[in-house]
Amino acid sequence: MSERMESVRSVALGIWFKVGSRDELPEEAGISHFIEHMMFKGTPTRDARELSEAFDSLGAQQNAFTSKEATCYFASCIDESMPGVFELLADMVCNASFDEDACALEREVVTEEIARGEDDPEDQVYELFAKKIWPQHTLGLPIGGTRASVATFDQAAAFRFRNKHKGPRRRTRIRHSSCHRPCSFRRRNIRRGLRPRPRTRIRGSSRHRPCSFRRRNIRRGFRRRRP
C-alpha cells in the first residue's frame, strides 16, 4: 500500500507482518520480539555493522517493534534513497541468518529488557491486566516473553517460527512519500527480498478491529458509562 504526499521529499517505509505474540505457543512466548531483534544482526551478505553502515550511508533511520498482533520493520529517508533502503529492509526480513553467537548475545539483551520492564510500574500493571483479562490465551502472555522461554531461543527456533509465520502471505508494504510509484518495488532491486503482489481489497475482520482506546484507558477495565 502506498500514499503520495506532494508536500514532502521524505519517505516513510514499513514492512508489516500479521504476526505477533498472540501467535506464539506458551513455550515460544517472546520469540516474535526476539526475531525482531535478530533481523538487525546480519544476513549472508551483510553483518550487523554493514547493515547499520548501509542505512547510515543512505541517510536513513531504521527501527522495528513487536505488538501482540503485528510486527513492523520500518525506515525513513529522502525519496532518492528509497530503492536502496527498501532493498536493505527486504534483505533483513527475508535473509536474516540468525547466527548462533548473535542469538546468544541477544538472549542476554532481551533478558535485560525483561528485567527493566519488571522495574517499571506502568509496564507491570499492563502485563498484570492482560493476564487477568486473558488468563487462558496467549494474548495474556508478555510480548517479550519470560526468562525461561527466552533462554531456549536459538537459530533453529528462530528459523522454525519465521518460516511458519512470516511468509509472503503475511507481509504488507506501506509507503508514504512524494513519489508516484515506489521504484524500489522493481524486480532488479528486490531479487533477494520481497516481491510485489496484486493489490487486494481490505475487508473487515472480527479478529482485528480498529480501536481508539489507549493503554491507560484499557487498564481501567470495562466500566459501564454513567448516563
- Contacts of residue 41, defined as CB under 8 A and 6 or more positions apart, other chains included, come to 48, 96, 97, 98, 99, 102, 106
pTM of the model: 0.75
Q: Is 29 a domain residue?
A: yes
CA-CA-CA-CA torsion sign (113, 119, 122, 127)? positive
Q: Is 205 a domain residue?
A: no
Q: Is 83 a domain residue?
A: yes
pLDDT at position 79: 87
Q: Is 132 a domain residue?
A: yes
The residue segments making up the domain with residue 104 are 2-181
Q: Is 100 a domain residue?
A: yes
The question of whether 27 is a catalytic residue gets the answer no
Q: Report the chain's C-alpha Rg in angstroms.
A: 19
Confidence of residue 170 (pLDDT cuts 50, 70, 90): low
Q: Point out the catalytic residue in the list 24, 27, 28, 36.
A: 36
Residue 195, pLDDT > 70, answer no
Q: Is 150 a domain residue?
A: yes
Number of separate domains in the chain: 1
Q: Is 194 a domain residue?
A: no
Mean pLDDT of 46-69: 95
| Contact criterion met (CB below 8 Å) for 116 and 127 | no
pLDDT at position 8: 76
Q: Which has more pLDDT, 170 or 95?
A: 95
Q: Is 202 a domain residue?
A: no
Q: What is the pLDDT of residues 129-152, one digit of tens each?
A: 999 999 989 899 999 999 999 999
CATH at residue 29: 3.30.830.10
Mean pLDDT of 12-34: 93
Instruction: Tell me the one-letter amino acid at 198.
Output: P
Distance CA 23, CA 153 (A): 16
Average pLDDT over the chain reads 80
Q: What is the pLDDT of residues 61-115, one digit of tens each?
A: 999 999 999 999 999 999 899 999 999 999 999 999 999 999 999 999 999 999 9
